[in-house]
Amino acid sequence: MWEYTDKVKDHFFNPRNVGEIEDADGVGEVGSLACGDALRLTFKLDKNGRIKEAKFKTFGCASAIATSSVLTEMIKGMTLDEAAKVTNKDIADYLGGLPEQKMHCSVMGREALEAAIENYRGGGKKKRELEGNVVCTCFGVTDKEIERVIRENNLTTVEQVTNYSKAGGGCGGCKGEIEKIIQRVQGDKIKQVPVSVPRRGERLTNIQKIQLIQQTINEQIRPPLRADGGDIELVDVEGNKVVVAFRGMCAQCKLADVTMKDVVEAKLREFVSKDLYVEEIKDSGQ
Amino acid sequence: METIYFDNNATSKVAEEVLEEMKPFFCELYGNPSSMHTFGGRVGRNIQKAREQVADLLGCDPGEIMFTSCGTESDNAAIRGTLAAMPQKRKVITTRVEHPAVLSVCRELQNHGYTVVELGVDKQGRLDIADLEENLDDDTALVTIMFANNETGVMFPIEKIAKLVTDKGVVFHTDAVQAVGKIPLNLSKSNIDLLSLSGHKLHGPKGVGVLYVRKGTRLSPFMLGGHQEAGRRAGTENVPGIVGLGKACELAAKNIKEENSKVKYLRDKLEDAILKSCPDSRVNGDRKNRLPNTTNISFEFIEGEAILLMLDKFGICASSGSACTSGSLEPSHVLRAMGVPFTAAHGSIRFSLSRYNTEDEVDYTIEIMPGIVNRLRELSPFVERAAF
């Protein structure tokens, strides 16, 4: 059961401004049936350019409905410039907060509002252009949108980005990409969580080392690669050099070099020995 | 406001008789059944009685009953224990609609070099037996297929599957957590090797389960320690839980007719009335081969969590396969495996009844359901104004 505030429950059970304004000045539509939530926002301006009336129709869970309802209340009386400044955080705060996993509902509200304003300013242009490149193909989220939720909500983990934008919440294949966007946007702001130094046994014999490398690949490295449709194979170990080959999707992946350093080498150093380095063989086993 | 509990596939009420049976085992008969003194020995006799009660319901020998801590443990013990006992075989066959207690274990095995085949289902949630037959080979160690689906109630032809699998010399496990107590079983005449059940799904307590292990089935122990459960499952017995589960099984054997008459009648009445009064609704799953207590209904254009919250306001407990309730952002893996369109999967509601439900409760739900559905559809941008 989600912990909803009384305000969320109130706006869910008694939604305000349900419906559609027939001769609306601005119409904003976001989301889809497939994604699990969708919102159509319409507004009408008075002669001073302030929002006189706003209405919504929403398909989605309780927090999606409450967010839409509260949004129509919030923007009434605002000029479009004022409305354009409303952030998803403002909406969530107005509701007394939303569960972390439901923050994407507030982002959907902000996006619908923006789409409606754009629609008005663009002279009734129907479809909203996607800005940036799609990162999460499951939910159609672009890098620009991800950057924005990171910045506006000061997010530092992939999990948070998923909660706020849904990106990464489907197949999970774009989680690495999201991680990089977080690093790009937040840079030094990401807290370096102190990690305890892994405890390693005494000197390993060659056989023990190879077994431990294989085990680490099986348990720590292969599962996330598999999730992306790829795979990895241990080819050889020569001293501290670990030779591996990428398979499946990883073999063609442009990010393979990054995966190599950030994932494979890092994990092997964490779990086996800090002296290890990894090299990739491109053509073996083909 | 009275609670109307239609979520019995999630968990069920502990029968009063079960609770009474358990009570003495906390402050009076608290001995350890492994102890040498008479005091502990008395407790041991009660465990034996519970073992017999469970065996009676399943139609097997009490020695084939191994108590565990829950259905999930039984599934883990069955799968891992079987594979550990035959390390030379590296293939497991299961289905895409299994409970996570089976599916997650199987998927994890892939990381250890196992080949895992997940059989698909058709739109009604039915398996293709020929598909299973094709996949059975000499390398197959285990086939694990659920008896009845927790989300839709759809039952697989388990006896037929068990025969096919065991004829090929492959071990067959079934997660029967939802079926036991609702479907009559006679394991002595069956080909099932391993069967999981859980106490709290049949009006027993939480924290206790059973793995039925057919005599002669090779199973490596999963929990190591003491010699409890004939060395197959170490750990001091959950005595009150085991005693309670025994009683619950005895009651289930008595009530199984009622499950298939009264409960089925109530389920059918609820389902038929909702389908009739709510346009654009449909049942998910094969209605002919289904548990008598479960219905899974999809309402187009509206979202499951919103429906649940509305129902909750009226004191009605149900569950949903929508993304918003699954803990992930995607709807139920069962409905997706069945090819239920996203539009319908997001708006799916499961009602699962028990013998404690009354006709008044069903009538009340029938009365309020159309109002909830219409109200949410008025909010939905996908319903055209003309429809209402």
Which two tokens mark B107? 């998927």
Q: Tell me how far CA of residue B348 lies from CA of A81, B154, B282, B306, in angstroms.
A: 41, 15, 9, 11
CB A86 within 8 A of CB A113: yes
| Count of domains forming chain A | 3
Domain match, A116 and A144 both = no
Which two tokens mark B97? 């609609």
Confirm whether the ipTM is greater than 0.95.
Answer: no
User: Which pLDDT score is estimated for B138?
Assistant: 95
Q: Do A18 and B303 touch (CB under 8 A)?
A: no
Give the active site residue among A61, A105, A174, A250: A105
Domain match, A116 and A140 both = no
Domain with CATH 3.90.1150.10 in chain B: 4-10+256-387
The residues that bridge with A218 in the sheet, in sequence order, are none
Measured distance CA(B147)–CA(A230) in Å, rounded? 33
Q: Tell me how far CA of residue B152 lies from CA of A220, B182, B268, B298, B337, in angstroms.
A: 35, 15, 14, 11, 12
User: Which pLDDT score is estimated for B179?
Assistant: 97
Amino acid at B337: A
Domain match, A221 and A272 both = yes
pLDDT higher than threshold 50 for residue A2: yes
Rounded to two decimals, what is the model's pTM?
A: 0.84
User: Nearest by CB to B329, which of A64, A170, A218?
Assistant: A170
Which two tokens mark A50? 């302030």
Among A76-80, A136-140, B98-102, B258-262, the minimum mean pLDDT is found in: A136-140
Choose the final residue of a domain: A148, A163, A189.
A189
User: Which pLDDT score is estimated for A206?
Assistant: 86
Q: Do B113 and A218 touch (CB under 8 A)?
A: yes
A204: confidence class by pLDDT, cuts 50, 70, 90: confident
Measured distance CA(A179)–CA(B254) in Å, rounded? 57
User: Which pLDDT score is estimated for A123?
Assistant: 79
Is A127 within the bounds of a domain? no
A218 touches chain B (CB under 8 A): yes
Is A196 within the bounds of a domain? no
Domain match, A112 and A28 both = yes
Minimal CA separation from A137 to chain B, in Å: 13
User: Which pLDDT score is estimated for A194?
Assistant: 59
Q: Which residue of B has its CA nearest to A68?
A: B379
Minimal CA separation from A89 to chain B, in Å: 20
Q: Which residue of A has its CA nearest to B377?
A: A59
User: Nearest by CB to B381, which of A59, A139, A169?
Assistant: A59
Q: What is the CATH number of the domain that holds A250?
A: 3.30.300.130
Is A194 within the bounds of a domain? no
Say whether B168 sits in a helix, a strand or coil.
coil
Mean per-residue pLDDT for B129-150?
Answer: 97
| B16-252 CATH, one of 3.40.50.1820, 3.40.640.10, 3.40.50.300, 3.30.230.10 | 3.40.640.10
Measured distance CA(B273)–CA(A136) in Å, rounded? 41
Measured distance CA(A147)–CA(A194) in Å, rounded? 26
Task: Write phi, then psi, for B67 (nearest 5 degrees).
Answer: -80, 140
Domain match, A80 and A151 both = no
Rg (CA), chain A: 24
Minimal CA separation from B119 to chain A, in Å: 19
Domain with CATH 3.40.640.10 in chain B: 16-252
Q: Which residue of A has its CA nearest to B319?
A: A1
Domain match, A178 and A230 both = no
Q: Do A36 and B303 touch (CB under 8 A)?
A: yes
Among A214-223, B140-149, B269-278, the minimum mean pLDDT is found in: A214-223
Mean per-residue pLDDT for A40-46?
Answer: 95
User: Which pLDDT score is estimated for A282?
Assistant: 75
Tell me the fold of B4-10+256-387.
Answer: Aspartate Aminotransferase, domain 1 (3.90.1150)
The residues that bridge with A44 in the sheet, in sequence order, are A53
Is A183 within the bounds of a domain? yes
| A171 annotated active-site | no
Q: Which residue of A has its CA nearest to B342?
A: A34
Choose the final residue of a domain: A86, A121, A156.
A121
Measured distance CA(B290)–CA(B267) in Å, rounded? 11
User: Which pLDDT score is estimated for A284?
Assistant: 47
Amino acid at B371: G
Residue A44 burial by Cβ neighbours in a 10 Å radius (0-12, 13-18, 19+): middle
Is A195 within the bounds of a domain? no
Domain match, A28 and A68 both = yes
Mean pLDDT of chain B: 94
DSSP run (H or E) holding B151: none
Query: pLDDT exceeding 90 applies to what percent of chain B?
Result: 89
Chain A hits for B378, CB-CB cut-off 8 Å, are: 18
Chain A hits for B303, CB-CB cut-off 8 Å, are: 36-37, 59-61, 64
Minimal CA separation from B269 to chain A, in Å: 28
User: Which pLDDT score is estimated for A242?
Assistant: 92
Domain match, A14 and A72 both = yes
Amino acid at B287: R
- Find the length of chain A: 286
Q: Do A59 and B380 touch (CB under 8 A)?
A: yes
Q: Do B381 and A29 touch (CB under 8 A)?
A: yes
User: Which pLDDT score is estimated for A128?
Assistant: 61
pLDDT higher than threshold 80 for residue B212: yes
Query: Domain containing A138: what range?
Result: 134-189
Measured distance CA(A26)–CA(A119) in Å, rounded? 6
Mean per-residue pLDDT for B365-373?
Answer: 97
User: Which pLDDT score is estimated for B326?
Assistant: 61
Q: Which residue of B has its CA nearest to A2?
A: B325
Q: Do B301 and A36 touch (CB under 8 A)?
A: no
Interval B52-61: pLDDT, tens: 999 999 999 9
Q: Do A58 and B324 touch (CB under 8 A)?
A: no
Q: What is the CATH number of the domain that holds A35?
A: 3.90.1010.10
Domain match, A19 and A117 both = yes
Best of A57, A59, A71 to disrupt the B interface (most B CBs within 10 Å) is A59
CB B213 within 8 A of CB B194: yes
